[in-house]
Amino acid sequence: MENEIVDIYDISYEGSGVGKLDGQVVFVPKTLKGEKVEISIIKKNKSFLLAKLSNVLNPSAERIEPRCPYFEKCGGCDFQHCSYQHERELKTEILRKEMSKIGYIGDISYQESKNRFFYRNKIKLEFFNGELGYFKSKSHSFFGIECCPIATEMINKSIPVVKRFISSNDCFGLKSVYFKQLQNNLSICFLFDKKIVKSAQKTIKNLKNIEIFGDFSIYFAFGEILESDSTKIFCVKQGKCLKQIYDGITFEFDVSSFNQVNDEIAKKLYDYVASKVEGKRVVNAYSGQGLLTYILSQNAKFVYGIEYQKSAHMSAEKMKEQVQDYKIENICGKVEEEIAKILQRDKIDCVVLDPSREGCENSVLNEMNQSEIIKVVYVSCNFSTLVRDLKILKDFYDIESVKIFDMFPCTANMETVVILRRKV
Ligand SMILES: C[S@@+](CC[C@H](N)C(=O)[O-])C[C@H]1O[C@@H](n2cnc3c(N)ncnc32)[C@H](O)[C@@H]1O
């Protein structure tokens, strides 16, 4: 297809530059406002075009050389081609535009990440045609990688070790490899097609070269995704455990459960949420492995944690035992089913909502609206579902403040905390 020339005049909510071609909107990832660029169209939709950047004819003053050798093709990062200051401005502008759709025009504060690179404590590499890598931007085509400059140094150093291990074993059915580092401990989990779980024991017995992993913990999992309760996980080499230290207490973490990906920002996020929670009786909905539940229990009289993933719930229970904190009740179940039961039997002052990217079910938001809860602290990693959910809450709650925590530098993703107070 022939190259076209467009002027980039805006930024989309996904972090792409926006231009116009013959009156039609065209999204061009990895471009900046004010640039004139040469593009090739890769997809035509009824209402917009998607293009690939071929050449920057007139670069923005904000443009810099990306640090990652794969930035141009990789679907992981959106903002390595500008300064960190400009990334902050872009993210704030994106959120401001989205929040204005529900009538919020107030301040948006911002917590920068200390590290723009080597911060991610968790990555998932795809395994395809004998290679480890990622998918290309806006496509399902794969490319192999040697490193990922947003992942921690320890994860980067372990990539060649994993490659050596794969080449000395029969890795039939291997789909992806998960790397997770907490403190100085690394766990690596090889995810295989669930169909071959029958031969798991034989595969594990015949493994070669497992000792090259030193004190890393190695797992083999069989299923669709690692986080699912139906995925079968085997520890094939017990190394050092994943752990998090908070307030001098060491908590063990599970390889298959959720954890925040940027340790420095996670701590700041938890401390901020704790400082905003009000009242004596609190619900921590979508509570994961329970660290935030423990932190909230330091100031509250009683905290309920609700989490549906069994392994995360078990970690939360272990944590509760360890600190002997009987002001906590961890409930293993769906928030949409459990929150109503709690509200029937207890008078709750404040709820923390920290759902996955899909946001909250309407029934959860309706429960909030119909309750006497005075404050809701909504923590979100996806501002599209956040704005959708705020639209429902805003009839009963006023937005007191909005703050971005830059959990995911170099990407258009952001962690946002919205504080809501019940209307009087
Ligand atoms: C974004 S994580 C937050 C976890 C925790 N707040 C933290 O900081 O580690 C969302 C969590 O909600 C859980 N989850 C997702 N949907 C759920 C639902 N409908 N009911 C209960 N838990 C859910 C996920 O398993 C995950 O642990």
Side by side, which strands form the sheet with 17-21?
Answer: 4-7, 36-44, 48-58, 24-28, 17-21, 10-11
pLDDT of residue 140: 85
Ligand 1 lined by 413 (C-beta under 6 Å)? no
Smallest CA separation from ligand 1 atom 7, residue: 288
Residue 1, pLDDT > 70, answer no
Q: Are 284 and 331 in contact (CB under 8 A)?
A: no
Give the atom of ligand 1 at the shortest distance from the alpha carbon of 306: 21
What's the pLDDT at 200?
A: 87
Q: Is the CB of 254 under 6 A from ligand 1?
A: no
> Cβ(354) to ligand 1 under 6 A?
yes
The string of DSSP codes covering 205-220 is: HT--SGGGGTT-EEEE
Retrieve residue 267's tokens: 């701590």
SS3 123: strand
d(CA 334, ligand 1 centre) in Å:
9
Domains and CATH numbers, the chain: 1-63 (2.40.50.140), 122-242 (2.40.50.1070), 245-422 (3.40.50.150)
Query: How sure is the predictor about 158, in pLDDT bands with cuts at 50, 70 and 90?
Result: very high
Answer whether residue 137 shows pLDDT above 90: no
Q: Is residue 78 classed exposed, middle or buried when 0-12, 13-18 and 19+ CB atoms within 10 A define those classes?
A: buried
386 alpha carbon, distance to own chain's centre: 14
Asked if 81 and 71 touch (Cβ cutoff 8 Å), the reply is yes
Protein residue whose Cα sits closest to atom 13 of ligand 1: 286
DSSP E strands: which ranges in 183-257?
185-192, 217-222, 232-237, 243-246, 249-252
Structure-block tokens of residue 358: 């899909």
What's this model's pTM, rounded to 2 decimal places?
A: 0.96
Shortest-distance Cα residue to atom 12 of ligand 1: 286
316 Cα–ligand 1 center, Å: 12
Cα gap 399→376, rounded to integer Å = 10
For the segment 15-22, the average pLDDT, to the nearest whole number, is: 97
Local confidence band at 326 (pLDDT 50, 70, 90 cut-offs): confident
Please report the pLDDT score of residue 328 as a whole number.
97
Q: Report residue 170's pLDDT band, with 50, 70 and 90 as the boundaries.
A: confident
Pick the atom of ligand 1 nearest to 357's CA. Answer: 1
Q: What are phi and psi of 124, to 5 degrees?
A: -125, 120
Reduced to 3 states, what is the DSSP secondary structure of residue 305? strand
Q: Give the Å distance between the CA of 258 and the centre of ligand 1.
A: 7
The pair of three-digit structure tokens given for residue 160, joined into one six-digit string: 């060649």
Our answer on whether the CB atom of 286 is closer than 6 Å to any ligand 1 atom is yes
Residue 87 near residue 32 (C-beta atoms within 8 A): no
Average pLDDT over residues 205-221: 96
Q: How far apart are CA 167 and CA 218, in angstroms?
A: 16
> Between the ranges 166-175, 202-211, 399-408, where is the mean pLDDT highest?
399-408
Residue nearest to atom 1 of ligand 1 (CA): 356
Ligand 1 mean position to 291 CA, how many Å? 12
**Contacting residues for 10 by C-beta, under 8 A, at least 6 apart:** 17, 18, 33
CA distances to 15, 24, 95, 401 from 91, in Å: 8, 25, 6, 17
